[in-house]
Amino acid sequence: MPIYEYQCQACGHNHEALQKLNSAPLIICPACNQPELQKKISAAGFRLKGGGWYETDFKSGNKKNVAGEASAPATPAAHSCPASGGCKNH
């Protein structure tokens, strides 16, 4: 459930509420009990990035991730057979 931010137009009180996406917006200010609460628009408090997540996992070639590091090109893993001839991959 997302956290929504509200501000009272009567007293200036800031309020945060954990609500379902389809819940009706709050109206009554918990500080002054006036019906002047309005939902604020704010950015999310986190960003999903970094190695091992979508930000870097599905990029190919020389595309850059958010951190500015070039993503590694997709190359097959090196295969080496033991000298004794016990390789089952050929």
State the pLDDT at residue 16. 94
Cβ proximity of 12 and 29 under 8 Å: no
Determine, yes or no, domain membership for 7. yes
Closest by CA to 46, choosing from 66, 60, 30, is 66
State the pLDDT at residue 49. 65
Which amino acid, residue 17? A
Cβ proximity of 11 and 31 under 8 Å: yes
Cβ burial of 34 (10 Å; 0-12, 13-18, 19+) is middle
Domain count along the chain: 1
Determine, yes or no, domain membership for 54. no
Q: What stretches in the chain show pLDDT beneath 50?
A: 71
Determine, yes or no, domain membership for 18. yes
State the pLDDT at residue 74. 52
State the pLDDT at residue 52. 56
State the pLDDT at residue 26. 96
State the pLDDT at residue 88. 59
CB atoms within 10 A of CB 72: 9
State the pLDDT at residue 25. 94
State the pLDDT at residue 42. 76
Which amino acid, residue 60? S
State the pLDDT at residue 2. 85
State the pLDDT at residue 21. 87
Domain extent, residue 29, equals 3-39
Angle at the Cα of 48 (from 42 to 51), degrees rounded to 5?
A: 155
Determine, yes or no, domain membership for 33. yes
